[in-house]
Amino acid sequence: MRSVNTPRPATRTDVARLAGVSDAVVSYVVNSGPRPVAAATRARVLDAIHALNYRPNATARALSRGMSDVFGMLVVDARNPFFAQLVYAANRESSAHGHSLMTVSTGGSPLSLDEQVDELVARRVRGLISVHAFTPRQIERLRGQGIHVVVINQPAATPGIPSVRVDLPAGARTAVEHLIGHGYRRIGFVGAAEYRSAREHGWADAVSAAGLPLGPRVLTEYSLDGGYDAGLQLLQLEHRPDAVFVSSDQMSMGLLAAVHAAGLRVPEDLALASFDGVTESAYLWPPLTTVRQPVAEITAAAVAALVADDDDVDVVLPTELVVRRSCGCPP
Amino acid sequence: MRSVNTPRPATRTDVARLAGVSDAVVSYVVNSGPRPVAAATRARVLDAIHALNYRPNATARALSRGMSDVFGMLVVDARNPFFAQLVYAANRESSAHGHSLMTVSTGGSPLSLDEQVDELVARRVRGLISVHAFTPRQIERLRGQGIHVVVINQPAATPGIPSVRVDLPAGARTAVEHLIGHGYRRIGFVGAAEYRSAREHGWADAVSAAGLPLGPRVLTEYSLDGGYDAGLQLLQLEHRPDAVFVSSDQMSMGLLAAVHAAGLRVPEDLALASFDGVTESAYLWPPLTTVRQPVAEITAAAVAALVADDDDVDVVLPTELVVRRSCGCPP
C-alpha cells in the first residue's frame, strides 16, 4: 500500500541536521537513553522526526513483520483539553519509538475499567498508559499476560506499580503564593470532590503559611459546567473572595464565563490562578496565569518506562508557573 | 473480574422508565431501528443507558465470548474540541450497541494512513469510522478483510463509500445571512486552505446573493494559532471588515484572543459568526454565534451504518445556527 513515488526515506542524520543536534542525541530520544536529553532539545528532535516523517528502525522492523507493537492509553474523557493534549503527546512519543497508540476514553462507556482493559489485552497491546490507578492485583494479572503498565498523573504512587506523576501540592502552592504576593487576602479554592486532596492541600498550606484565613471552598466536577457553577457560587457569596485558585484550566474557562456573564472583570473583581497549562489557557480572556503540567515530559517518561519494562519507576515531575494576566500581572 | 456485590443488572425496562419512553424505543436506539427515534429522545435514552450502566444483550453476549466487537475511529487531531466531541459521542454510541471504540489520532504519527489502518485491521476491529476520505481501492481492500467502513464529515460523498456528512455550504450560508441581517456590509472569511471549498462557497454565495462585495479572505490552518494569526491579519488591514465568518470554533477562539490583545471588542469592532458549535463556544467571551454540527446525530448515523453493514449509506445532516453574542445579538 506504499506510494510508488516515495522519496528517499529520511535518515537519523537528516533528523539530526534539521534539529541541530548530533546523531547520538536523535538516538537517545528514539531509544529513551542511555543518556538523558533536555526537554527543549527533545521537542526539537520530535518536531524534526515528524517534519521529515522519519521512521526509526523499530517501526521499519515492525512493519516488515506486518504488525508493530501497539500501546494502549486509558483516559477518562478526552474532551478535557488536558487529557486531549496528553493523548496527542503520547501518540507522538509512542510513534517516535515505533509504536502505535490506541486510546480508550473510559468515561463514556458502561463497561467497567477491568472490562475495558480486557478489551485492550485481547487486542494484544504490549503496553498500557493509564490515568486510572490500578490495584496491585490488576497489575499482577496484566504482567502475567506480558503487558507493561504505567500509571500517570495519580496524586501518589502505589508501591510496585510504575508511576509518572506531578508534584500537585507544590504546583498549587506556587500559584497561591503568587496570588498572595499580589496582595490578595481572601483566596478561595475551586476543585473537584473526587480528586481534591493534593491541590487543595497545596492551596491550604500556602494560605496558612502566610497567616491568612482560608477563603471559601467550592467542590464541583471537572468540567466547563462545573467551573461555571463554581463561579456563580463564589459571586453570590455575601463576602466574596478577591482571588481564587482553580484546579483545572477547563474549570477556569467555565468560571471566566460566569464572571463575564455577571458583568464583572478578571482580575479587577476576582483574580484567578489556574492549573494544567493547556494550550487554550493562553487564548482565553484574560489569558490565564496557570501551573503548567509538563505534558511532553510526562508522556516521554511514561513511554520510556514501557519501553524499558522497568517496574520500579516512580518519576515525579515539577510544574512551572506561567504568569499571564488573570492574576493581575501586567501584559 | 466482576465485583462480587454487583446489584441486579439494569434491564431495558429500567432504561425505558428512567427515560420516560416505551421499551420499544429503547430497542430502536440500541439496534438503530427499525423505527427512527428523534434526536432529543435518543439523547434521553443514551443518558439513561449510561446512568443505569445498562448493557444491551450484544455486550453481554460479547463478554461471555471473552471479546466483543471493537470499532476503530480515525481522527486527525483530537486536541481540536470538535474532534474530541465526535470521539466522545462515538464512544457512547458504540457502547450503547455493545461495541468498544479504539481511537487513533492520525495527525501525530509518522505512519501513513494506510499503515495506521493496517494496524487497526491487525487488531481485528470490525468497523471503522474515519474522518479521512478513503479511495475506492482502500475500501475494497478493507471489505475483503470483513471490515465495514463509514467516512464522516467529508465535504462530499464518494460513490460506493458509506458516508455521513453535514451540509457545510448551507450551514455557512445561514451564518453569513445572519451577519448580513445585522447590517454588516464588509464580511470577511477565515478558513483553512486544505478544506476551504465547502464553507467558503457558502460564505461567498450568501455575500453575493445580498449584492455585497466579498470581504477579505484569510486562509490559515485549523488551530488556535491559525485563528490568532488570521485575527492579526484582519486587524492590520487598512480597510477592516466589520464582520467575519470563521470556519471552526477552535479558530474563532484564537481569533478572539487576537482581538482582545489588540484592545478591541467583539462584536463592536468586529462581529463574528463561527462554525462547529462545540461546548466551549458557549463559554468564550463573548459567547459565539456558531453553526452547530449535529455531533450526536453524526455518530449515531455512523454507528448505525456500521451495525447494519449498509454500503449505500449517504446521510446528509442539517446544521443549526446557535445565536449568542459574538454576532451582535443581545444576551
Q: How far is B212 from chain A (nearest CA, A)?
A: 32
CA distance readout (Å), B194 to A14, B84, B152, B154, B274: 27, 20, 17, 12, 18
The stretches of A194-319 forming alpha helices (DSSP H) are 196-209, 224-235, 249-261, 295-308
Mean pLDDT of A137-163: 87
Which of B53, B285, B324 should one mutate to test binding to chain A, selecting the residue with the greatest count of A CBs within 10 A? Answer: B285
Whether A192 maps to a domain, the answer reads: yes
Strands A289-292 and A320-322: antiparallel
pLDDT of residue B107: 74
Per-residue pLDDT tens digits for A235-268:
999 999 999 999 999 999 999 999 999 999 999 9
Q: Count Cβ atoms below 10 Å from residue A169 Cβ, excluding itself.
A: 19
Q: For position B61, what pLDDT does the model report?
A: 46
Q: Is some CB atom of chain A closer than 8 A to the CB atom of B260?
A: yes
SS3 (DSSP) at A234? helix
pLDDT score of A52 more than 60: yes
Q: Do A287 and B95 touch (CB under 8 A)?
A: no
Phi (first) and psi of residue B104, to 5 degrees: -120, 125
Q: For residue A108, tell me if it sits in a domain.
A: no
Give the count of beta carbons closer than 10 Å to the beta carbon of residue A135. Answer: 11
DSSP state of A325: T
Last residue of a domain, one of A18, A34, A54: A54
Please count the other Cβ atoms lying within 10 Å of the Cβ belonging to residue A126: 16
Cβ atoms within 10 Å, residue A213: 9
Which residue from B31, B17, B150 is spatially nearest to B96, judged by alpha carbons? B31
| pLDDT value at residue B59 | 46
Closest Cα in chain A to B50: A110
At A101 the pLDDT is 86
Give the cell for residue B299.
455518530
Residue A39, in any domain of the structure:
yes
Query: Are A110 and B280 within 8 A, CB to CB?
Result: no
* Partner-chain contact A283 B119, CB within 8 Å: no
- Among B53, B67, B112, select the one facing A110 at the smallest CB separation: B53
CATH of residue B226's domain is 3.40.50.2300
Please name the residues between 28 and 67 in chain B that touch chain A, using a CB distance below 8 Å.
49-50, 53-55, 59, 63, 66-67
pLDDT at B250: 97
**For residue A163, what pLDDT is reported?**
94
CA-closest candidate to residue B1, choices A73, A325, A122:
A122
Candidates B50, B55, B65, B102: best to mutate against A (most CBs of A within 10 A) is B102
Average pLDDT over residues A191-214: 90
Query: Can you tell me the distance from the alpha carbon of B8 to that of B228, in angstroms, rounded to the nearest whole number?
Result: 53
All residue ranges of chain B with pLDDT < 70 are 1-8, 31-34, 55-68, 108, 194-196
- Give whole-number Cα distances, A109 to A34, A193, B55, B102, in Å: 40, 22, 10, 12
Residue A230: all three cell numbers together:
463554581
What integer pLDDT is reported at residue B32 of this predicted model?
66
Residues of A in contact with B110 (CB under 8 A): 49-50, 53-55, 59, 95-96
Beta bridge partners of A73: A103, A129
For residue A43, give Cα distances in angstroms to A73, B77, B127.
21, 18, 35
Q: Dihedrals φ, ψ of B320, to 5°?
A: -140, 130
Is the bond preceding A318 in cis, omega lying within 30 degrees of 0? no
> Does residue A150 lie in a domain region?
no
- Provide the grid cell at A274: 489556574
Closest CA to B148 of B167, B120, B116: B120
Is B122 in Cβ contact with A66 (below 8 Å)? Answer: yes
Which residues of chain A have a CB within 8 Å of the CB of B53?
110
Nearest CA to CA, how far is A136 from chain B (Å)?
14
Q: How far is CA B266 from the centre of its chain?
A: 26
Give CA–CA dist B36/B48, Å, rounded: 18
Element counts in chain A: helices (H) and strands (E): 12, 12
Dihedral in degrees, nearest 10, Cα atoms A23, A26, A27, A30? -160
Tell whether A249 is covered by a domain: yes
Largest CA distance in chain A: 71
**Sheet strand arrangement including B271-276:** B217-220, B187-192, B243-246, B271-276, B289-292, B320-322
Opening angle at CA B90, ends B108 and B72, nearest 5: 55
Predicted confidence at residue A150, as pLDDT, reads 94
For residue B36, the model assigns a pLDDT of: 77
pLDDT for B300 equals 95
On whether the CB atoms of residues B231 and B279 are closer than 8 A, the answer is no
Torsion-angle region of A261 (φ positive above 0: left; ψ -120 to 50: alpha; else: beta): alpha
Please enumerate in sequence order all residues whose Cβ is within 8 A of that of B81, keeping only pairs 6 or more positions apart, or say none.
A79, A81, A84, B249, B250, B276, B278, B279, B280
Q: Examine the pLDDT at A46 and tell me if it is beyond 80.
A: yes
For residue A213, being part of any structural domain is answered with yes
User: Strand order in A70-75's β-sheet?
Assistant: A314-317, A163-166, A148-152, A127-130, A70-75, A100-105, B100-105, B70-75, B127-130, B148-152, B163-166, B314-317
- Per the omega criterion (within 30 degrees of 0), is the bond before B56 cis? no
Question: What's the one-letter identity of residue A284?
Answer: L
pLDDT digits (tens, 9 = 90+) for B200-220: 999 999 999 999 999 999 999
Taking the C-alpha atoms of residue A236 and residue A216, their distance in angstroms, rounded to an integer, is: 12
Residues A198-214: what's their mean pLDDT?
A: 96
Using a CB–CB cutoff of 8 Å, tell me whether B224 touches chain A: yes
Share of chain A above pLDDT 70, in %: 91
Q: Which domain holds residue B31?
A: 1-54
What pLDDT is attached to residue B193? Answer: 79
Query: How far is A16 from A26, CA to CA, in rounded Å?
Result: 6
Three cell numbers, residue B217: 479572505
* Residue A166: closest CA among A292, A288, A14: A292
Q: How far apart are CA B248 and CA B242, in angstroms?
A: 19
Mean pLDDT to the nearest integer, A305-319: 88
Chain position carrying cell 464553507: B199
Task: Provide the Cα torsion B76, B130, A74, A140; round to 10°.
Answer: -130
User: Which DSSP symbol is given to A280?
Assistant: G
Assess if residue A149 is contained within a domain.
no
Give the highest mean pLDDT range of A52-56, A170-174, B80-84: A170-174
Please state whether B189 falls in left (phi above 0), alpha (psi between -120 and 50) or beta.
Answer: beta
- CATH number at A49 reads 1.10.260.40
Domain total in chain A: 2
Residues A173-188: tens digit of each pLDDT = 999 999 999 999 999 9
Query: What are A127's strand-pairing partners?
Result: A71, A148
Q: Which residue has the higher pLDDT, A107 or A284?
A: A284
pLDDT at A292 over 70: yes
The number of angstroms, rounded, from the C-alpha of A252 to the middle of its chain's C-alpha atoms is 16
Q: Look-up: residue for cell 479521512? A: B132
Burial group, residue A160, by CB count within 10 angstroms (0-12, 13-18, 19+): exposed
Residue B12 vs residues A12, B104, B176: alpha-carbon distances, Å:
57, 32, 45
Q: Give the pLDDT score at B4.
A: 38
Q: CA torsion, points B172, B150, B224, A178, in degrees to nearest 10?
A: 130
Q: Is pLDDT above 50 for A73?
A: yes
